[in-house]
Structure 1
Amino acid sequence: MDTISYKTVSANKANVEKEWVIIDADSMVLGRLASDVAKIIRGKNKPSFTPNVDCGDNVIVINCDKVRLTGKKWTDKVYVSHTGYPGGQRETTPNQLKAKSSTLLVERAVRGMLPKNRLGSALFKNLYVYEGTEHPHEAQKPKEIKLS
């Protein structure tokens, strides 16, 4: 029988091509930045995307201290966490998080957009966030990506 056979090729750890990407977060809106970064870390921008494999790139985010939030979110948005003890509910605002460390703001936004399982934890380790323009990953020769 002379028919064309197509095979679906699934990526696995052995044949995944991971690259290093650098993104400048200067004056970008936090949620839109986090959404694009999560897609790149997950590998959804590649034609060889496989949902159960870490096939995304390593992402370096610089200038995270210059990220923007729209509206009154700096004061009105509330992050809620719980210590596990009775009465242990804690609330923080983006202003308080930025005062502690401005990298936490971007990391928390990206982590919320990744899967909530072992794969998501492994994917989160591919994110590197820095406050200024300096980063220690020059040896990896990262490509700069402009997000619109």
Structure 2
Amino acid sequence: MKNNLEQNRKWYLLDANGATLGRISTKIATLLRGKGKVEFAPNLDCGDYVVVINSEKVVLTGNKEEQKRYYTHSGYIGNLRTKTVEEMKSSHPTEILNHSVSGMLANTKLKKGFLSRLKLYAGESHPHVNIKFTELKDKVK
């Protein structure tokens, strides 16, 4: 049985081709939280679904393509791994945008639900062709 918040969820389609990483991540985080809705409450999960295509074509300003590093650590001594943005784009092209949006959401019990409604795809095609997407009034640049 769906409650009222689940029935009112919309689907948004964003194209990340040429969009700046921080600007599109902010827009995605706002849509996932549902902050633009009238029925928004900070303790409820009332956000929408967001499908992002061309996530590998997101743009970083300045020298961040070469200088920005992503760190992972397994917990073992001496096992700190670093990757630049160029290496991340070649191995995991959607992980850059996922990491950015994840950092913009609060570390609460709701965060897992927010990120489960974020669908990232590296190319133009996506499996959500049957869904009617809602147009955004302001385009992300």
Shared fold, TM over 0.5: yes
Q: Work out whether 1:53 is the aligned partner of 2:44.
A: yes
Q: Which residue of 2 aligns with 1:132?
A: 123
* Structure 1 residue 81, shift from structure 2 partner: 2.1
Instruction: Give 5+ residue unaligned stretches, structure 2.
Output: none
* Structure 1 residue 28, shift from structure 2 partner: 0.4
**Residue identity opposite 2:93 in structure 1:** S
Instruction: Give 5+ residue unaligned stretches, structure 1.
Output: 1-12
Q: What pairs with 1:64-79 in structure 2 (closer than 5 Å)? A: 64-79=55-70
Question: What percentage of aligned pairs have identical amino acids?
Answer: 40
**Residue identity opposite 2:140 in structure 1:** L
Q: Which residue of 2 aligns with 1:36?
A: 27
Q: What pairs with 1:1-148 in structure 2 (closer than 5 Å)? A: 14-16=3-5, 17-145=8-136, 146-148=139-141
CA-atom RMSD, angstroms?
A: 1.4
**Residue identity opposite 2:127 in structure 1:** P
* Secondary structure at 2:127 match in 1: coil
Aligned structure 1 segments of 4 or more residues deviating by more than 3 angstroms: none
* Secondary structure at 1:132 match in 2: coil
Q: What is the alpha-carbon distance in structure 1 between the residues aligned to residue 45 and residue 130 of structure 2? A: 22
**Residue identity opposite 2:25 in structure 1:** A
* Secondary structure at 1:112 match in 2: helix
Q: What is the alpha-carbon distance in structure 1 between the residues aligned to residue 127 and residue 80 of structure 2? A: 37
**Residue identity opposite 2:78 in structure 1:** G
* Structure 1 residue 101, shift from structure 2 partner: 2.1
Q: What is the alpha-carbon distance in structure 2 between the residues aligned to residue 137 and residue 92 of structure 1? A: 31
* Structure 1 residue 59, shift from structure 2 partner: 0.1
* Structure 1 residue 70, shift from structure 2 partner: 0.3
* Structure 1 residue 80, shift from structure 2 partner: 1.8
* Secondary structure at 1:61 match in 2: strand
Q: What is the TM-score of this pair, normalised by structure 1? A: 0.86
* Structure 1 residue 32, shift from structure 2 partner: 0.9
* Structure 1 residue 144, shift from structure 2 partner: 3.2
* Secondary structure at 1:96 match in 2: helix
